[in-house]
């Protein structure tokens, strides 16, 4: 599921409202249930869930139970409680195939649970591949209403002005297709770096490899923002850095929060390494003892989603795409760390369904990795604080 801070847009009809949902939520969705949250008359957030994978009544009721149990508990951006919701079901199915409104039984399972929970239902609609309809309209046409009522709505232009280019978060639940040739080159680069500790420069001369996670993060984000493909050398370096506990957190913080925060995290990790040489403790043991001995720093809280700053939205989206490409082309033995960073990024973005899926893949690669366990706790703890508050974005 995905939770975001929305843009406020005024609407008067159901079609107007549906035209603004992508701008309000900050993403486009497919085969999803999107719950737009309200406090009084204003939207104050959104939750996205994958559509159930089957059409069993028990699965439909589970969706309704979760929504009813949790929507009222979620604070709005101002800290006040959510008291209303608009449900939009997006589906690739069609009214023609269903001979009526798709996922009507799902809505019928969800609606009574929301009403019994005291949540006001502002709107409930289905947007299918060929038409749309409001579940609350008893006179809805069997074939649905034209999608042009949404796309050509008076609110659509205003929404497009506010939203710009939006990510399709439903695609984040799976890794992109693997290019076998690129995967082979990434594997060769990783093997070269691990076996010889050096890399070839542009003149073919072997140089000692020196990994700088902060500099790498800045290069990756800059290339991603320019729309450039990341080459095998940097993909290999990313996967190797993510494979090491000492550098993984630094790379994560640098990708999400920028170079300044990354450098602070790097300095802390170097101090840990010095202490490790003195005490013989593992990196994880040192980190755990350090947290017990002192109040958590803002970077510690950042990793837990409880800091005063939040990641920059555009930077997060860029990092997610880079990490997806890196994980898709990493050998299985060197993929878990990258998947862990990707899991955190998706969780920080509020994409809980996709984060849970990447966490599952990371656990399959290395079930004993401590960060896999830590991320499991983080996902179970709910949403990061910045999903609701309005702290300063981390500086690039």
pLDDT, tens only, 38-50:
877 777 777 888 8
The span from the CA of 49 to the CA of 34, in Å, is 6
In 10 A of CB 65, how many CB atoms?
A: 14
Residue 175 pLDDT: 93
pLDDT at 111: 94
pLDDT, tens digit, for every residue of 325-359? 999 999 999 999 999 999 999 988 877 778 889 99
Residue 10: φ, ψ to 5°: -90, 135
Q: Please write the tens of the pLDDT for every residue from 49-60.
A: 888 888 888 889
pLDDT at 123: 93
Question: How open is the CA angle 304-346-232, to the nearest 5 degrees?
Answer: 115
CA angle 242, 302, 217 (to 5 degrees): 40
State the DSSP code for 341.
H
Please give the C-alpha separations between residue 349 and each of 89, 232, 334, in angstroms, as whole numbers: 21, 26, 24
Of the ranges 106-115, 198-207, 353-362, which one carries the lowest mean pLDDT score? 198-207
Query: Across the beta sheet with 84-90, what order do the strands follow?
Result: 2-4, 42-50, 32-39, 84-90, 120-127, 132-134
Is residue 363 within 8 A of residue 337, CB to CB? The reply is no
The whole-angstrom separation of Cα 82 and Cα 95 is: 32
pLDDT of residue 203: 40
Strand locations in the chain, DSSP E? 2-4, 32-39, 42-50, 84-90, 120-127, 132-134, 198-200, 206-208, 309-310, 392-393
Instruction: State if pTM tops 0.85.
Output: no
- pLDDT value at residue 3: 43
Q: What's the start-to-end Cα distance of the chain, in Å?
A: 27
Query: Would you state the pLDDT for residue 288?
Result: 67
Q: 196 falls in which pLDDT band (50, 70, 90)? A: low
Which has the closest alpha carbon to 36: 108, 84, 74, 103? 84
Question: Is 336:365 a contact under the CB 8 Å cutoff?
Answer: yes
DSSP letter (8 states) at residue 394:
P
Ramachandran sector of residue 392 (left: φ over 0; alpha: ψ -120 to 50; beta: rest):
beta
Q: Cβ–Cβ contacts within 10 Å for residue 361, how many?
A: 17
SS3 333: helix
For range 205-227, the mean pLDDT: 79
Which stretch of 74-83, 225-234, 348-357 has the lowest confidence by average pLDDT?
Answer: 74-83
For the chain, the average pLDDT equals 81
Model pLDDT, residue 205: 42
**Are 22 and 67 contacting, i.e. CB atoms less than 8 angstroms apart?**
no
Q: Tell me how far apart the alpha carbons of residues 81 and 176 are, in angstroms, rounded to a whole number.
A: 38
Check whether 96 has a pLDDT greater than 90.
yes
Q: Look at residue 187 in the predicted model and tell me its pLDDT.
A: 94
Q: How confident is the model at residue 165 (pLDDT cuts 50, 70, 90)?
A: low
pLDDT at 177 over 80: yes
Show Cβ contacts of residue 156 under 8 Å, excluding neighbours closer than 6 positions: 19, 20, 150
Identify the pLDDT of residue 72. 59
pLDDT band at 317 (very low <50, low <70, confident <90, very high): confident
Say whether pLDDT at 9 is over 80: no
**CA–CA gap between residue 297 and residue 274 (Å, rounded):** 19
Closest CA to 121 of 90, 76, 89, 84: 84
Closest CA to 255 of 225, 230, 218, 310: 218
Beta bridge partners of 37: 45, 85
Instruction: State the Cα–Cα distance between residues 180 and 163, nearest whole angstrom.
Output: 36
Beta carbons within 8 Å of 40's beta carbon, 6+ residues apart: 83, 84
pLDDT, average across residues 242-259 = 90
């Amino acid at each position: 599921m995905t939770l975001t801070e929305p843009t406020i847009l005024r609407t008067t009809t159901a079609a107007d409202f549906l035209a603004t949902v992508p701008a309000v939520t900050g993403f486009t969705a497919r085969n999803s249930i999107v719950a737009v949250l309200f406090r009084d008359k204003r939207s104050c957030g959104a939750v996205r869930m994958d559509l159930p994978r089957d059409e069993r009544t028990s699965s439909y009721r589970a969706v309704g139970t979760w929504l009813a149990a949790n929507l009222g508990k979620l604070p709005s951006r101002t800290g006040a409680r959510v008291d209303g919701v608009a449900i939009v079901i997006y589906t690739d199915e069609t009214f023609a195939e269903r001979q009526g409104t798709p996922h009507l039984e799902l809505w019928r399972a969800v609606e009574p649970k929301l009403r019994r929970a005291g949540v006001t239902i502002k709107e409930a609609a289905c947007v299918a591949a060929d038409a749309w309809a409001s579940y609350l309209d008893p006179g809805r046409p069997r074939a649905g209403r034209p999608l042009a009522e949404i796309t050509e709505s008076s609110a659509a232009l205003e929404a497009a002005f506010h939203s710009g280019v939006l990510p399709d978060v439903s695609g984040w639940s799976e890794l992109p297709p693997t290019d076998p040739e690129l995967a082979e080159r990434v594997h060769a680069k990783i093997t070269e770096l691990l076996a010889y500790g050096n890399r070839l420069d542009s003149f073919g001369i072997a140089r000692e490899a020196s990994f700088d996670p902060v500099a790498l993060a800045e290069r990756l984000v800059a290339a991603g923002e320019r729309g450039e493909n990341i080459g095998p050398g940097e993909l290999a370096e990313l996967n190797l850095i993510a494979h090491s506990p000492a550098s993984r957190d630094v790379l994560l913080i640098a990708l999400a929060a920028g170079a300044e925060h990354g450098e602070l995290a790097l300095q802390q990790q170097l101090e840990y390494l010095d202490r490790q040489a003195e005490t013989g403790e593992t990196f994880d043991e040192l980190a755990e003892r350090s947290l017990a001995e002192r109040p958590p720093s803002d970077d510690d809280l950042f990793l837990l989603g409880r800091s005063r700053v939040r990641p920059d939205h555009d930077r997060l989206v860029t990092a997610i795409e880079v990490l997806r490409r890196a994980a898709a082309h990493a050998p299985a033995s060197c993929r878990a760390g990258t998947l862990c960073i990707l899991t955190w990024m998706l969780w920080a973005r509020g994409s809980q369904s996709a984060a849970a899926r990447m966490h599952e893949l990371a656990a399959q690669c290395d079930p004993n990795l401590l960060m896999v366990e830590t991320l499991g706790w983080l996902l179970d703890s709910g949403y990061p604080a910045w999903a609701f508050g309005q702290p300063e974005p981390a500086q690039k």
